[in-house]
Amino acid sequence: MARRFVCPSGNSSSLARSNVLSPSGKLSRVYRPIDSLLSCCVTANIIRLAFINPNYNLYGIAMPTAPKCEFIPYLSISDASKAVDFYTRVFGVEPYLLLNMPDGRVMHCEFRIGEARFFISEELPEHGGTPSPARHDCTTVAIHLYVIDCDAMVETMANNGATVLMPPEDVFWGERFARVRDPFGHEWGITTQLREMTPDEIQAEAAKMFAAMKE
């Protein structure tokens, strides 16, 4: 006996169809049968596809790119146009994207450094924007940036108006580390990895340091 198909409206004279993208990226049709067991099989296959292939969501629809989780610092800055020039000089990269307000202020700017990226914008208080460190003369966040040469990066930043809060030094967790405040009030931890260390090794070195401080 031929299997009947029904559409969601219950009209058995027509086919229940929904558009999905096939693995090849072409538009195809999926027909929903009235048989409940077969329906469960189709649903299970779609869910399995979503977990096996990250390019598909739980509805079996092809995603344009695989979803990912990414942490991106977004810096609010007073006089962000000067910050664009500063970050361009010290990091040696041009803005990947720069959008200006009609009055010339920076609405959004994206920088990419290797695989990392960060955003900046004018603080825009009239639009409820995030206050910049300059407004309160402090910051509660530091951005850590891994570079090939910590000393060279700190020198470049200092030569362009940044303040060195902690000069480069070798630290117990296996890195060469420095702290710098840029001219716009944001603090940066500039780091170069010297050696690979496990969490247990770092804990042991920290214990040695604290023990020495008590002597």
Please state whether the predicted TM-score (pTM) of the whole model is above 0.75. no
Listed residues 32, 66, 100: the one ending a domain? 66
- Within 10 angstroms of residue 2's Cβ, the number of other Cβ atoms is 4
Based on the fold, state whether residues 146 and 213 are members of the same structural domain: yes
Based on the fold, state whether residues 89 and 161 are members of the same structural domain: no
Distance CA 167, CA 152 (A): 11
Q: Residue 94's domain is classified under what CATH number? A: 3.30.720.120
The total of structural domains in the chain comes to 3
pLDDT digits (tens, 9 = 90+) for 134-148: 888 899 899 999 999
Distance CA 204, CA 208 (A): 6
pLDDT attached to residue 128:
87
Q: Is the pLDDT of residue 49 over 50?
A: no
Based on the fold, state whether residues 145 and 214 are members of the same structural domain: yes
Angle at 78 between CA 81 and CA 90, to 5 degrees: 50
Higher pLDDT, 125 or 215: 125
Based on the fold, state whether residues 74 and 53 are members of the same structural domain: no
Domain residues for the domain of 34 are 1-66
Q: What are phi and psi of 144, to 5 degrees?
A: -100, 130
Based on the fold, state whether residues 178 and 125 are members of the same structural domain: no
Based on the fold, state whether residues 206 and 156 are members of the same structural domain: yes
Listed residues 18, 40, 66: the one ending a domain? 66
Based on the fold, state whether residues 113 and 47 are members of the same structural domain: no
The answer to whether residues 149 and 192 touch, using CB atoms and an 8 Å cutoff, is: yes
The answer to whether residues 67 and 55 touch, using CB atoms and an 8 Å cutoff, is: no
- Dihedral angle at the C-alpha atoms of 163, 164, 166, 170, nearest 10 degrees? 150
Based on the fold, state whether residues 61 and 93 are members of the same structural domain: no
Place of tokens 């951005």: 143
Based on the fold, state whether residues 51 and 81 are members of the same structural domain: no
Q: How sure is the predictor about 66, in pLDDT bands with cuts at 50, 70 and 90?
A: low
Based on the fold, state whether residues 208 and 146 are members of the same structural domain: yes
Listed residues 48, 66, 84: the one ending a domain? 66
Given the DSSP bridges, would you call strands 187-193 and 142-146 parallel, antiparallel or unpaired? Answer: parallel
Q: Report the side by side order of strands in the sheet with 106-113.
A: 74-77, 116-122, 106-113, 97-100
Q: Is the pLDDT of residue 4 over 80?
A: no
Based on the fold, state whether residues 125 and 159 are members of the same structural domain: no
Based on the fold, state whether residues 62 and 74 are members of the same structural domain: no
The answer to whether residues 109 and 99 touch, using CB atoms and an 8 Å cutoff, is: yes
User: For 138, what's the count of Cα atoms within 13 Å in the CB-facing half-sphere?
Assistant: 2
pLDDT attached to residue 62:
62
pLDDT attached to residue 47:
42
Q: Is the pLDDT of residue 15 over 50?
A: no
pLDDT attached to residue 25:
45
Distance CA 78, CA 14 (A): 62
pLDDT attached to residue 56:
54
Rg (CA), the chain: 27
Closest by CA position to 191, among listed 156, 159, 152? 152
Place of tokens 């048989």: 35
